[in-house]
Amino acid sequence: MFFDHLPENGFICGHRGARSIAPENTVLSMEKAKNCGAHCWETDVRTSSDGQLIIFHDENLERTTDIKTNKFFKDREKQQVDQFTAEELQQLGAGSWFLKDDPFGTVASGEVVPEEKEIIKSQKIPLLSEILEFTKKHSFPVNVEIKDLKTPAGDTAIVDKIMEMLRDTETMDLVLLSSFRHEYLHRAKEIDKNIGIGVLTAKKHPSNLNQYLHSMSADAYHPKQSSCDSLLLNNLRQAGFRVNIWTINDMTSAKKMLTAGAGVITDWPQRLTTGEQSHET
């Protein structure tokens, strides 16, 4: 089970990898999260038009690929990710935008060193299968957040596909599934009760939260930082749930929550792992 690979109290989870120092949701971002000493990382999965499981956050490709300047994809920049085949998606560059936009100021500050620019530019959109290969090889746990939030109610085909891949790659115990769409998590547990699931919310907590989490057979609750205080954290911990808070980028709050026993999902895992924190599992 995912949590068996993590410290009992407080762990650092790189959000979309180490996305402040590498293009999010790429192999490089995952490697950076691991190499900086994060205990695990979080990533987002969607399906392509030909039904493959791909790693990507946004609904379209404008922000984090080179689609606007890629001549092979002229006039397709507004299309949704699920209108592209996996093969098409893998032809896009998923790294050069990071150098141009410098979303966290780490290129300008020099934290991203010039020698890394070529490898950053070479990043592509990964398949889930590639990510799981790394997960298995390095025993590096991953929280897979299932996107595809617009499929009709009752359509949980993406979950069946993911679960089949976890079984085939023997990575079930290193993966925690989460989603804003709780129906997906319910389906995952139905397929295999040993899969770890984290109930993800953005603002409002489900009413009767403890009872709700029990009814879902949840292993963890994933609240947004603004909706989670120490009281909620302690209550849920005492009730036996892990609590993984997203996305904490203020290091004082992150350290406080780590000490209180939370999982901290952060864009800056390298800042938590180079200080006084201990990272031994």
Return d(Cα 216, Cα 246) in angstroms, integer: 20
* Residue of 197, 203, 231 whose CA lies nearest to 215: 197
Among 31, 44, 148, 267, interactor with Mg ion by CB under 5 A: 44
3-state secondary structure of 68: coil
**Residue 186 or 222 with smaller CB distance to ligand G3P:** 222
Among 265, 266, 267, 272, binds ligand G3P (CB under 6 A): 265
Positions in 190-209 near ligand G3P (CB under 6 A): 200
Spatial CA neighbour of 246 closest among 220, 228, 230, 273: 228
Residue pair 21/32 in contact (Cβ under 8 Å)? The answer is yes
164: enclosing H helix or E strand: helix 157-169
Chosen from ligand G3P, Mg ion, none, partner binding at 200 (C-beta under 5 to 8 Å by type): ligand G3P
Q: Is 42 an interacting residue with respect to ligand G3P (CB under 6 A)?
A: yes
**CA 186/CA 264 separation, integer angstroms:** 24
Q: Which of 35, 30, 31 is nearest to 15 (CA)?
A: 30
Binding mask 140-159 for Mg ion (x = CB under 5 A): -----x--------------
How far CA 100 is from CA of 33, 54, 116, in Å, comes to 22, 24, 14
265: partner contacted, choices ligand G3P, Mg ion, none (Cβ within 5-8 A by kind): ligand G3P
Binds 124: which of Mg ion, ligand G3P, none (CB < 5-8 Å by kind): none
- 28 is a site residue for ligand G3P (CB under 6 A): no
Q: Is 219 in the site for ligand G3P (CB under 6 A)?
A: no
Is there binding between residue 41 and ligand G3P (CB under 6 A)? no
Residue type, 196: G
Q: Which residues bind Mg ion (CB under 5 A)?
A: 44, 145
Q: Which residues bind ligand G3P (CB under 6 A)?
A: 15, 42, 44, 57, 145, 178, 200, 222, 246, 265
